[in-house]
């Protein structure tokens, strides 16, 4: 009869030396598979003498159970090791503070452009755009600004070539010309955008922003211009009463021309717009010059209207109490954190943490 004790010892020794799950799988087949060592021992039973059968089968069954149990335990061990390994590498520390979410800020200039655009859209103005690099014709000639006009001077204008054909637009007024050449009257547009002049001090930057307005139709007069600007100033500065002064001025592309001042006073170190006895210039405007209309093939006898040009940066400085224009364009993130605006569509629970 087989030495079951020896067989058991051999099997258990082999099992001890197995170190991974797949080797254990293999070993299980070696023992219990179709041609496994224990399976073979079972096959022998039929050929045994009747008197030996019982004892043999009992011992074999006992061996089988022991080996099965040990193999099972080892499987559980390997699984446990695997789980522990996973737990360690995929550990989530729920006590860690959340990762900070920094939301961007909207630059005051972008904010003011949005505000101004929505104010004018409410009264029927649509938005037009023009290129920053303009040619001499749209920027000056078509706007009735002759060759010897001081605005054409090198000290004011960034020219891009020697022939002074290409330049960085000095105002948004060329968008008037482009718009009128592109379609037929009536026109009722605003054009916000970047403008450039050789200038730099506390209130002037070589790049700044303007908003152009143009309204051309039959029977448009200066009363319409006044009404439009009153409406705009009240809405923009969120005040009910406002003092506005139209001061006679000169622009080559308007006749008559005016500069518009708004009344203000200083209260507790802060500027109060709309009241008081001080005046602050905010824009230039006038009735579009007949020569400009002729240049864009609009009959001045049939159509006329007004135009205006506002400094957007100036508006932002006034409304939001910012006193150095140059800081607008220095891209200092701390400045933007302070003076910038939260995007409206950011849900409150996503508000960025402050730096
Ligand atoms: N383009 C002028 C400037 O930059 C501003 C201006 C004045 C625009 C009168 C106009 C206007 O449309 O009618 O100084």
Cβ atoms 307, 104 nearer than 8 A = no
Whether residue 279 is found in the same domain as residue 181: yes
Q: How confident is the model at residue 155 (pLDDT cuts 50, 70, 90)?
A: low
Whether residue 323 is found in the same domain as residue 212: yes
Domain extent for 294:
108-339
pLDDT in tens, 30-58: 999 999 999 999 999 999 898 888 999 99
Characterize the bridge pairing of strands 207-217 and 166-168: unpaired
Residue 264 Rama label (left phi>0; alpha psi -120 to 50; beta)? beta
Q: For residue 352, is pLDDT > 50?
A: no
Considering only residues 101 and 164, tell me which one the structure prediction assigns the higher pLDDT: 164
The residue whose C-alpha atom lies closest to atom 9 belonging to ligand 1 is 285
| Lowest-pLDDT choice from 9-18, 301-310, 346-355 | 346-355
Q: What angle do CA 313, 145, 310 make, to 5 degrees?
A: 20
Does residue 94 lie within any of the structural domains?
no
The residue whose C-alpha atom lies closest to atom 7 belonging to ligand 1 is 284
Q: For residue 348, is pLDDT > 70?
A: no
The residue whose C-alpha atom lies closest to atom 12 belonging to ligand 1 is 308
Whether residue 177 is found in the same domain as residue 269: yes
Cβ atoms 187, 214 nearer than 8 A = yes
The predicted pLDDT at position 101 comes to: 76
Q: For residue 350, is pLDDT > 80?
A: no
What would the mean pLDDT of 17-32 be, rounded to a whole number?
Answer: 93
Cβ neighbour number for residue 216 with a 10 Å cutoff = 23
Whether residue 181 is found in the same domain as residue 290: yes
The predicted pLDDT at position 18 comes to: 93
Does residue 8 lie within any of the structural domains?
yes
The predicted pLDDT at position 344 comes to: 67
Longest dimension (CA), the chain: 133
The predicted pLDDT at position 154 comes to: 60
Residue 276 Rama label (left phi>0; alpha psi -120 to 50; beta)? left
> Quick one: which H or E segment has residue 16?
helix 4-16
Q: What does pLDDT average to over the chain? A: 91
What are the tokens at 344? 């409206």
Q: Which of 311, 314, 326, 312 is nearest to 110 (CA)?
A: 312
Given ligand 1 and candidates 173, 259, 310, 315, which is best to mutate, with the most ligand atoms within 8 Å of its CB? 173
Domain count, the chain: 2
Whether residue 191 is found in the same domain as residue 289: yes
For ligand 1, the distance from its centroid to the CA atom of residue 227, given in whole angstroms, is 18
Separation CA 196–CA 9 (nearest Å): 94
CATH number at residue 145: 3.30.930.10
The single-letter DSSP state of residue 277 is S
pLDDT in tens, 263-314: 998 888 888 888 889 998 999 999 999 999 999 999 999 999 999 999 999 9
Does residue 200 lie within any of the structural domains?
yes
The predicted pLDDT at position 90 comes to: 85
Backbone phi and psi for residue 157, each to the nearest 5 degrees, phi listed first: -115, 140
Does residue 99 lie within any of the structural domains?
no
The residue behind tokens 């905010």 is 282
Whether residue 163 is found in the same domain as residue 49: no
Whether residue 44 is found in the same domain as residue 177: no
| Sign of the torsion angle spanned by Cα atoms 334, 340, 341, 343 | negative
> Quick one: which H or E segment has residue 259?
strand 254-267
Q: For residue 28, is pLDDT > 70?
A: yes
Q: How confident is the model at residue 151 (pLDDT cuts 50, 70, 90)?
A: low
Does residue 50 lie within any of the structural domains?
yes
pLDDT in tens, 84-138: 988 888 878 888 888 877 788 999 999 999 999 999 999 999 999 999 999 999 9
Separation CA 215–CA 297 (nearest Å): 16
Separation CA 130–CA 117 (nearest Å): 16
Does residue 159 lie within any of the structural domains?
yes
What would the mean pLDDT of 167-187 be, rounded to a whole number?
Answer: 97
Q: Which of 288, 289, 328, 282 is nearest to 309 (CA)?
A: 282
For ligand 1, the distance from its centroid to the CA atom of residue 133, given in whole angstroms, is 18
Whether residue 147 is found in the same domain as residue 270: yes
Cβ neighbour number for residue 208 with a 10 Å cutoff = 20
Whether residue 189 is found in the same domain as residue 314: yes
Ligand 1 site, CB within 6 A: 171, 173, 212, 251, 254, 284-286, 307-309
For ligand 1, the distance from its centroid to the CA atom of residue 62, given in whole angstroms, is 105
The residue whose C-alpha atom lies closest to atom 10 belonging to ligand 1 is 308
Does residue 32 lie within any of the structural domains?
yes
Does residue 63 lie within any of the structural domains?
yes
**3-state SS of the chain: helix, strand, coil percent to 5?**
45, 20, 35
The predicted pLDDT at position 93 comes to: 82
The predicted pLDDT at position 347 comes to: 47
| pTM attached to this predicted model | 0.71
Cβ neighbour number for residue 152 with a 10 Å cutoff = 20
Whether residue 189 is found in the same domain as residue 48: no
What are the tokens at 61? 């069954």
Whether residue 176 is found in the same domain as residue 36: no
For ligand 1, the distance from its centroid to the CA atom of residue 307, given in whole angstroms, is 7
What is the number of the ligand 1 atom nearest to the C-alpha of 214?
A: 12
Q: For residue 354, is pLDDT > 50?
A: no
The single-letter DSSP state of residue 100 is P
pLDDT in tens, 195-206: 999 887 777 789
What is the number of the ligand 1 atom nearest to the C-alpha of 195?
A: 4
Whether residue 236 is found in the same domain as residue 324: yes
């Amino acid at each position: 009869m087989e030495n079951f004790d020896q067989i058991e010892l051999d099997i258990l020794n082999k099992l001890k030396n197995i170190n991974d799950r797949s080797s254990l799988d293999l070993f299980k087949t070696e023992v219990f598979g179709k041609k496994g060592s224990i399976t073979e021992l079972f096959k022998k039973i039929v050929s045994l003498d009747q008197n030996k059968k019982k004892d043999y089968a009992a011992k074999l069954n006992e061996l089988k159970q022991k080996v099965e149990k040990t193999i099972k335990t080892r499987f559980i061990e390997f699984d446990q090791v695997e789980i522990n390994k996973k737990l360690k590498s995929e550990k989530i520390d729920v006590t860690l503070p959340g990762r900070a979410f920094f939301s961007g800020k909207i630059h005051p200039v972008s904010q003011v452009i949005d505000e101004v655009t929505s104010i004018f859209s409410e009264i029927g103005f649509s938005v037009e755009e023009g290129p920053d690099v303009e040619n001499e014709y749209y920027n000056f000639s078509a706007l009735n600004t002759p060759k010897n006009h001081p605005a054409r001077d090198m000290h004011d204008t960034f020219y891009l070539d020697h022939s002074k054909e290409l330049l960085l637009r000095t105002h948004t007024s060329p968008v008037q010309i482009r718009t009128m050449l592109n379609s037929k009257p009536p026109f009722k547009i605003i054009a916000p955008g970047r403008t450039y002049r050789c200038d730099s001090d506390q209130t002037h930057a070589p790049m700044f922003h303007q908003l152009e307005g143009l309204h051309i139709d039959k029977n448009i007069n200066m009363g319409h211009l006044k009404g439009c600007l009153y409406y705009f100033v009240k809405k923009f500065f969120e005040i009910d009463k406002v003092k506005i002064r139209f001061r006679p001025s000169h622009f080559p592309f308007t006749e008559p021309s005016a500069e518009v001042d708004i009344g203000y006073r200083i209260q507790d170190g802060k500027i109060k717009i709309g009241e008081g006895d001080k005046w602050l210039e905010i824009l230039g405007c006038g009735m579009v010059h007949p020569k400009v209309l002729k240049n864009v093939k609009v009959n001045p006898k049939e159509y006329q209207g007004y135009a205006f040009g506002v400094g957007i940066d100036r508006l932002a400085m006034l409304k939001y109490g910012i006193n150095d224009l140059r800081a607008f364009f220095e891209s200092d993130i701390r400045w933007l954190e302070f003076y910038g605006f939260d995007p409206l569509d950011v849900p409150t629970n996503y508000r960025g943490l402050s730096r």
